[in-house]
Structure 1
Amino acid sequence: MGTWDSGPFDNDTAADWCGDLDDADVAKRPVLIREALSRAAGEDGYLDADIACEAIAAAAIVAAQQPGGQPITSPYAPDFLRDGGRLNLPDDLTVLAVRALDRIMAADSEWRDLWQDATAGNVNPAFDAVYGLRRALTA
C-alpha cells in the first residue's frame, strides 16, 4: 500500500476506490459506499488493510454529507465531491460507517497494526483522523 499521509484519501487504495466512485453512475455511488463499509464492518477474521482504506474513505464521504459536515478538499477524493457535489445517502449508512470504523480500530486489523507500528509515542495522526470521522458521524 502506497501511503503519503494520514488522511482518509491519502493512500493508493483509497485514491483508486475514489476514482472508481467518481467514474460510477450517480445512482450506483451509494451502493459502492455501502459495499465498502459493509466489507469492513462484516469482516470476522483479520481485516485486510485495503478493505480498511476503502471503508475509511467511504466513511469520510458519509461524514461530509452530514449536516454541518466538513467539505472534502483532498485532491485524491472523488472530483464530484471536491467540486461541491452531494450524494443522496440512506440514513443507515451513518450507523454502518461507525461500525466499519470501530472494526478498523479493533485489535485484529492490519490497517491498525500498520499505523500503530509506523508511529511513535502517543501521537498517531491516522488514528486521530479515524476518531475524528467517528465523532462527526455520531454528533
Structure 2
Amino acid sequence: MGAWGMAPFQNDRAVDLLEELGELDTVARTLRIREVFMEGINSDSDDAPLAFEVVAAAALIGIILPGGLALDRDLPEGDERLTSCIDPEDEGYATDDWRPALLRSPGPELIELAIAAVRHVTGMDSQWRDVWGGNRDRAIEEMQKVLAILEAAVR
C-alpha cells in the first residue's frame, strides 16, 4: 500500500475505496460504508490496510458535516471556514476524487459506527499507528480531526 500523505484520502486503499463507492448507488454506497465500519470494529488491531479504509470512509462522512471542510482544505487556525461543510451538490468540487462517493445524509447511527470503527482500528496498540514511523504524530492529528467532526455531529 502506498501513502503520499497523512490525510485520510492520501493512500492507495482510500483511493480504491472512493472509486468503488463512487460507482455505487446511494443505498449500496451506504451499505458498503457500513460494512467497512463493521469490518473495522470486528477486526484485529494488526490490519493496517483496513484501518486506512475505515479512516477514509469516516472522513467521507465527516466532510459533509459542520467543520468538514477542514478535512479537504488546509485552513489556518481561526479561519471562519473551519466550521463550514461541503455541500455534496456544489459543482465546485466536481473534480475531487471523493465527490462521487459522498453520502447526502449519513444519519446518526452511521456516524456512531464510524466513530467506534476509527477508535478501534487506530487504537494505541494498532498496526495503523506503527506504519507511520516518524510521521505518526501528524497522522494521528489528521485522524483526530475526523473524529472531532464526527463526535461533534452526534453530541
Q: TM-score, structure 2 length as denominator?
A: 0.73
Match of 1:42 in 2: 42
For 1:87, what is the secondary structure of its paired residue?
Answer: coil
Query: What residue number does 2:78 align with?
Result: none
Of residues 130, 138, 155, the one that matches 1:113 is 130
In 1, the alpha carbon distance for the partners of 2:109 and 2:13 equals 25
Deviations 1:81-128 (A, max 9, x none): 6xxx6523232111111111111222332211112xx216xx721110
CA separation of 1:99 and 1:86: change in aligned 2, threshold 3 A: closer
Structure 1 residue 102 and structure 2 residue 119: aligned? yes
**Does the CA contact (< 8 Å) of 1:9 and 1:76 recur in 2?**
no
Distance 2:99 2:64 in 1: 15
Report the CA distance between 1:24 and its aligned residue.
1.1
Structure-1 residue corresponding to 2:98: 78
Instruction: Pick one of 117, 139, 142 that aligns with 1:129.
Output: 142
The equivalent residue for 1:18 is 18
Counterparts of 1:46 and 1:68, CA distance in 2: 29
The change in CA–CA distance for 1:112 and 1:58 in structure 2 (over 3 A counts) is: same
The structure-2 alpha-carbon separation of the partners of 1:36 and 1:76, relative to structure 1 and needing over 3 Å to count, comes to farther
**In the alignment, is the contact (CA less than 8 A) between 1:6 and 1:125 conserved in 2?**
yes
What is the rounded CA distance, in whole Å, between the counterparts of 1:132 and 1:73 in structure 2?
Answer: 11
Q: Is the 8 A contact 2:45 2:120 kept in 1?
A: no
Determine if contact 1:98/1:134 at 8 Å carries over to the other structure.
Answer: yes
What is the letter of the counterpart of residue 134 of structure 2?
T
1:137 Cα deviation (Å)?
Answer: 0.9
CA contact (8 A) 2:51 2:122 kept: no
Q: Which runs of 5+ in 1 are unaligned?
A: none
- Give the aligned length: 131
Distance 1:47 1:40, change over 3 A: farther
Identity of aligned residues (%): 30
**Whole-angstrom distance in 2 between the partners of 1:2 and 1:76:** 19
CA RMSD of aligned residues (A): 2.3
- 1:36–1:58: 8 Å Cα contact kept in structure 2? yes
Tell me the CA shift for residue 29 of structure 1.
1.0
